[in-house]
Structure 1
Amino acid sequence: MLEVKDLEVSYGSIKALHGVSLNVPQGSIVTLIGANGAGKSTTLRAISGLIKTRSGSVTYSGEDITNQPAHKIVAKHLCHVPEGRMVFANLTVAENLRMGAYLRNDKAGIAADMDYAFTIFPRLKERINQAAGTMSGGEQQMLAIARALMSQPKCLMLDEPSLGIAPILVRAIFDQIVAINKERGLTILLVEQNANLALGISHHGYVLETGRVILEDSAAALLKNPQVRAAYLGD
């Protein structure tokens, strides 16, 4: 569904990605792991059109989308939940969700998707009229994912969904990521510092180091890999 080939990205004179290549099969959960500064978030931002690539290509559902504007990529049902959640702090939960559906005009479908969001994240329904900025980090992360689902993505990219969140809510969020993948067949590309948790729900994984893919394998194999265990799993 998503193929990244030889992607190179620079911030001024500093090269952030050195020929990153990866594949995300339809219906799968694929994880990128690596230390801070490895290029994980940059990879997602390049795919979603938030930053320009110097060379390489991004192919989505057979179409070259390299360097297309971000709003056009969202319209193709490829959606990015950024690191730090980026909810609209002064808007209510309901208003944030409606913002996620800004490209749609099917009122019945929007209502159905909002109900689905409340089914997977009941806390959002409890806080439907609450300003998003007053909610906890975990609740804001739930809202950011639910807002992305309102755009009817076929592929969802999640950047550090566990960052700064209480462990009990992290587990709830990851359980729902798995449920969304299974129930809706949603393809997921996940960037996550908690390598143990991420690989535990994924089908395949890539290890990034200083802007390069240094290792790729099935998630189960990466969990057993001594190099990965020593570097990222605390062994």
Structure 2
Amino acid sequence: MLEVENLHVSYGAIKALHGVSLKVPPGSIVTLIGANGAGKSTTLRALSGLVKPTEGVIRYDGHDIARMPANRIVSRGLCHVPEGRMVFANLTVRENLKMGAYLQKDRKWIAEQTDYVFGLFPRLKERENQAAGTLSGGEQQMLAIGRAMLSKPRFLMLDEPSLGIAPLLVKTIFERIVEINREQGLTILLVEQNANLALEVSTYGYVLETGRILLEGPSAELKANPQVQEAYLGA
């Protein structure tokens, strides 16, 4: 569903990505792990059109989207849940979900999908008229994922969904990520610093180091790899 070939991204004179190549098959959960500053978030930002690559091909669903504007990319069903949640703090939970549906015209579908999100995350239903800025970090992450679900995604990119969240809510959020993948057939590309958790829920993984793919393979093999264990799993 997604093929990235020789992706290069620079911020001025600083090169962030040096020839990244990866593939994400339809219906899969693929993870991208690595240390802070490895280029994980930059990779997602390039895929969603927020930064433009200096070189390389991004083929989504058979089309090269490397230089396509971000609004056209999301209209094709590729949705990015950014690091730090980025909810609209002064809007209510329900209003944030409506913002996610800004490209959708089918009111019946929007209502049904909103109910689906409230079923996934009952805490959001309990707080639907509460300002998003008053929610906990974990609740805001639920809202960010729920808002993305209202954009009618076919491919979901999640950037650090566990960051700054209580362990109990992290468990809930990752259970829901797996549920979304299974129930709605959503393809998911997951960027996550908690490598152990990321490799647990994914089928395939890539290890990114200083803007380059260092290792790749089935998640179970990466989890058993001594190099990965020492560097990312605390072994």
TM-score range, shorter chain: over 0.9
Aligned to 2:129: 129
Aligned to 2:91: 91
Mapping of 1:55-70 within 5 angstroms?
A: 55-70=55-70
Alignment check: 8 A CA contact 1:156 1:189 kept: yes
Aligned to 1:203: 203
**CA positional deviation for 1:234:** 0.1
Moved >2 Å (runs of 4+) = none
Mapping of 1:139-158 within 5 angstroms?
A: 139-158=139-158
Aligned to 1:232: 232
5+ residue gaps in structure 1?
none
**CA positional deviation for 1:56:** 0.1
Query: Distance between the aligned counterparts of 1:214 and 1:143, measured in 2?
Result: 33
Alignment check: 8 A CA contact 1:97 1:146 kept: yes
Aligned-residue Cα RMSD (Å) equals 0.4
**CA positional deviation for 1:67:** 1.9
Q: For each residue in 1:157-195, what CA deviation from the matched residue of structure 2 results, as whole angstroms up to 9, or x when unmatched?
A: 000000000000000000000000001110000000000
Report the AA paired with residue 10 of structure 1. Answer: S
Report the AA paired with residue 171 of structure 1. Answer: K
**CA positional deviation for 1:105:** 1.1
Aligned-partner SS, 1:183: helix
Q: Percent identity?
A: 71
**CA positional deviation for 1:214:** 0.6
**CA positional deviation for 1:227:** 0.3
The TM-score normalised by the length of structure 1 is: 1.00
Mapping of 1:1-235 within 5 angstroms?
A: 1-235=1-235
Query: Distance between the aligned counterparts of 2:5 and 2:92, measured in 1?
Result: 40
Report the AA paired with residue 161 of structure 2. Answer: P
5+ residue gaps in structure 2?
none
